[in-house]
Structure 1
Amino acid sequence: MLLGTERNGFLRSEDGGASWARLRAGLRSDRSGYSEIWDIDFSVSDPDVIMAATLDSPGPAAGPDAGAGLYRSTDGGQIWTQLNCGFSTSRVVSVRIDPSDPNVAVAGLEGGLPSFTGPGSGQYYPGGIYRTEDGGQNWSRVSVGLNDGRNGYVIMRMTQGNPPQLVTFGMNRNDFNENLGFMRSNDMGLTWEFFAPELQTKSIDGFDLSADGQSIYANEGGTYSGWVSKDAGATWSQGPILQVNGPIAVSPADPSLVIFASPGDIRRSTDGLASMNVVASGLGTVREIVFSASNPTVVYAETDGYVLYRSDDAGLTWRLLVKGREQVLNVQP
């Protein structure tokens, strides 16, 4: 189990959360600490291979002023290597590894103006979709459409098919009219097709899909209801207001079982967001919800302070697993 933090590297547990180790060997740091870990993916064919996307300010990906960008580990997260060759910016927001080949991966970068001052502060650093076939030693940009450099690809999901399908949403947070919207790839990022044009200019803050990609659930910011497709994005309906306002996760075993966050609580739907029950409350802001890849009855939810909760009954009940900041970061130097 690997948990990314905002400025403190990684937390790893090998015993189901009973004990934790702090890992950061190879990560670049500055006066504010390490870069924020935004996305993590494990290789299915070689679980020791892990890639992590870091959320720096848009900026140079190489040179003395480069941000963190993307890291890769080949020993289960003990040591990390920075791999930004070919990137247009160090703001990497998503990454997925080919289940059949740990050397093939696709990364999503987000374009924007930097938050720092000084040389290069007035330059726009474009985002884009990038692909590697040599374990991240070299990345090639994949052109996907007009304004693709002005979009960010913050969420990238993968189906469990053979071959797997990648799905992402291109969004410009400053101008939704420039959104590329939903797009998918059936060849691990070599080519992409657009779908769901009715959602293209919306603020899709989160989405997830079923194991086969037929059911897609999307969270449109500010609406508190979910968009639902049961035919791989061909048609969509907007569900009732269930306070969908945070991360959303679909069971890999049941496409109608959806667990999502609302401010301070976790909610569970067994009918594809037609209705829901509050299953945990008083948690603070929920930042992520993830089903276990090896056991669909196990679900994890993380809140501010790297507080991690676990469910062993597909989200019906929850228990505290670890207070990451208090019990690990404040204890291990």
Structure 2
Amino acid sequence: MAKTLILVGTKKGAFILESDAVRRDWTLKGPFCATWPIQHVIADPASGTIYAAGGNAWFGGAVWKSTDLGGTWTHSSEGLNYGEGAEPVAAAWSLAQGPDGLYAGVEPAGLFKSTDDGETWTHVSGLRDHPTRPNWQPGGGGLILHHIVPHPKDAKKIWVGISSAGVFHSADGGTTWEPRNRGTRADYMPEDQRYPEWGQCVHSLALAPDGSERLYQQNHCGMYRSDDGGKTWTSIEAGLPSTFGFPAAVHPRDPDTLFLLPLNGDIHGRYMPEARAAVWRTRDAGNSWCALRNGLPQQDAYFGVLRQALATDRREPAGVYFGTGGGALFASADEGENWTCLAQHLPTISSVETLVVD
């Protein structure tokens, strides 16, 4: 039987919503992961294994795993550390399945890899060995590696997003790295330093599905597209209500279609512009945008949406999902044209991802 799963990470554990291919009726299950703070939940589409990155300074960092669609869970932190005498890993913040293993991003910012389905971890030390590392500064939430984008076919290519160090890319499996931030602003820097080589506060990073290495980036200071794997970035914020926001999600098949949730600004509350909720969509790679509002609250919507809390599924038409800081989960089964609230009063939602089982 076909299933569609929404995987939700929250400040008090992981939750799973389950439906069929039609995506009309949903069942909520959870909380899982012993109600640990869970920052990001993903699934390996090939095996169906679900992984959850979590922890905090009290628990430490670990990655939970379920091989039965959430029925049972185990967790491991073996190897998820920088070694004796080094600053401890406070939490695991992000996950990504690459062609040759599972990646985890942690706080303080660093990258780990597992080749045994999350049982043990190896530090990808080349990133923290980069000469800029001693000068990386934390963003408002800390110094966190929060986005990992492996190339889907070339295991040697990987991009990461770090607040507030920027985007870095490796072409050799993580041995060496280079900043890829040319064209992205850092408005908080002095005027003559607004476009540094590194030091930008990237919020979200997404790879288009066509294999062209097109990237989309929501930054603290603008919305951008790169058509060359991040070597150069072009602003695509014209037509949006704000240059500020956190999550961005690509369409599963169309490289020109992107979904975005702008907020009203970094110092004006960080909620829906005019307190009217909308998901913004482009069909032409950011040259124009439209607001999708049908079914979303159009008054008193003073909520925010965090950087991993927007996702699509690979159904036809694609589903789109987002979760709020107030614990509401919204869904569209028609690429954003119409919206339904699937759940309310969950803990603060940190992440939303999907798994389709045919």
Alignment partner of 1:166 is 2:158: yes
Instruction: Provide the rounded CA distance (Å) in 2 between the counterparts of 1:232 and 1:147.
Output: 21
The residue that corresponds to 1:131 in the other structure is 113
Q: Which runs of structure 2 are paired with 1:220-239 in the superposition (5 Å)? A: 220-221=219-220, 223=221, 225-239=222-236
Identify if the C-alpha distance between structure 1 residues 265 and 234 changes in structure 2 by more than 3 Å, giving closer, same or farther.
same
Instruction: Provide the rounded CA distance (Å) in 2 between the counterparts of 1:304 and 1:107.
Output: 23
Task: Provide the alpha-carbon RMSD of the alignment.
Answer: 2.7
The structure 2 residue matched to 1:75, chosen from 68, 72, 86, is: 68
Q: Which runs of structure 2 are paired with 1:24-63 in the superposition (5 Å)? A: 24=32, 27-28=33-34, 34-47=35-48, 49-57=49-57
Gaps of 5+ in 1: 29-33, 58-64, 112-126, 173-178, 327-333
The structure 1 residue matched to 2:285, chosen from 272, 280, 302, is: 272
The residue that corresponds to 1:300 in the other structure is 321
**1:123-147 Cα deviation digits (max 9, x unpaired):** xxxx421111222222111112236
Identify if the C-alpha distance between structure 1 residues 256 and 165 changes in structure 2 by more than 3 Å, giving closer, same or farther.
same
The residue that corresponds to 1:123 in the other structure is none
**1:28-63 Cα deviation digits (max 9, x unpaired):** 4xxxxx22221122112210x111111513xxxxxx
Cα contact 2:98–2:155 (8 A) shared by 1: no
The residue that corresponds to 1:285 in the other structure is 304
What amino acid is aligned across from residue 7 of structure 1 in structure 2? K
Q: Which runs of structure 2 are paired with 1:207-246 in the superposition (5 Å)? A: 207-211=205-209, 212=211, 214-221=213-220, 223=221, 225-241=222-238, 242=240, 243-244=242-243, 245-246=245-246
The residue that corresponds to 1:60 in the other structure is none
**1:86-138 Cα deviation digits (max 9, x unpaired):** 12214111112245x6xx31111111xxxxxxxxxxxxxxx421111222222
**1:288-328 Cα deviation digits (max 9, x unpaired):** 211104546211122233322222222233222333539xx
Cα contact 1:97–1:105 (8 A) shared by 2: yes
Instruction: Provide the rounded CA distance (Å) in 2 between the counterparts of 1:206 and 1:87.
Output: 24
Shift of residue 231, structure 1, vs aligned partner: 2.2
Identify if the C-alpha distance between structure 1 residues 321 and 38 changes in structure 2 by more than 3 Å, giving closer, same or farther.
same
The residue that corresponds to 2:268 in the other structure is none
Instruction: Provide the rounded CA distance (Å) in 2 between the counterparts of 1:132 and 1:108.
Output: 12
Instruction: Provide the rounded CA distance (Å) in 2 between the counterparts of 1:240 and 1:190.
Output: 31
Identity of aligned residues (%): 22
Bigger RCO (CA 8 Å, 6+ sep): 2
The residue that corresponds to 1:175 in the other structure is none
Alignment partner of 1:3 is 2:8: yes
The residue that corresponds to 2:104 in the other structure is 107
Q: Once structures 1 and 2 are overlaid, which stretch shifts more, 278-287 or 228-237? A: 278-287
Q: Secondary structure at the match of 1:219?
A: strand
TM normalised by structure 2 equals 0.70
The residue that corresponds to 1:18 in the other structure is 26
Cα contact 2:144–2:163 (8 A) shared by 1: yes
What amino acid is aligned across from residue 94 of structure 2 in structure 1? S
What amino acid is aligned across from residue 69 of structure 2 in structure 1? G
Instruction: Tell me how many residue pairs correspond in the alignment.
Output: 283
Instruction: Provide the rounded CA distance (Å) in 1 between the counterparts of 2:334 and 2:201.
Output: 32
Cα contact 1:128–1:148 (8 A) shared by 2: no
Instruction: Provide the rounded CA distance (Å) in 2 between the counterparts of 1:296 and 1:147.
Output: 43
Q: Which runs of structure 2 are paired with 1:175-214 in the superposition (5 Å)? A: 179=165, 181-185=166-170, 189-198=173-182, 199=184, 200-211=198-209, 212=211, 214=213
Cα contact 2:162–2:202 (8 A) shared by 1: no
Instruction: Provide the rounded CA distance (Å) in 1 between the counterparts of 2:179 and 2:45.
Output: 27
The residue that corresponds to 2:249 in the other structure is 249
Shift of residue 255, structure 1, vs aligned partner: 1.5
What amino acid is aligned across from residue 79 of structure 1 in structure 2? T
Instruction: Provide the rounded CA distance (Å) in 2 between the counterparts of 1:216 and 1:76.
Output: 30
What amino acid is aligned across from residue 297 of structure 1 in structure 2? A
Q: Secondary structure at the match of 2:346?
A: helix
Shift of residue 185, structure 1, vs aligned partner: 4.5
Instruction: Provide the rounded CA distance (Å) in 2 between the counterparts of 1:43 and 1:163.
Output: 16
Instruction: Provide the rounded CA distance (Å) in 2 between the counterparts of 1:298 and 1:274.
Output: 23
